[in-house]
Amino acid sequence: MVERDVVIKNRAGIHARPAALIVKTANEFKSQIFFEKDGERVNAKSIMGIITLGATYKTPLKVIAEGEDEEAAVNAIAELFERKFEEE
């Protein structure tokens, strides 16, 4: 299992477009990938799960992956956050 803390850097937070980008990226990996916020865990391959987190600007999240490509999965998801979901 690999975990990494990320922070939402784009001002709009996670809305439909970033959520879709996360799901698209997560589905490229075989590993199970989750986001955790305030003790709530959601599947990173579920657009509705991600949106229900209500993650806004500067919200910290934990990315958790478990499986054969877990390291690459966490790195790819974290990179989306670093690039502000290519919105800014």
Catalytic residue numbers read: 15
DSSP calls for the chain: -EEEEEE--STT-S-HHHHHHHHHHHTTSSSEEEEEETTEEEETT-HHHHHHT---TT-EEEEEEESTTHHHHHHHHHHHHHTGGG--
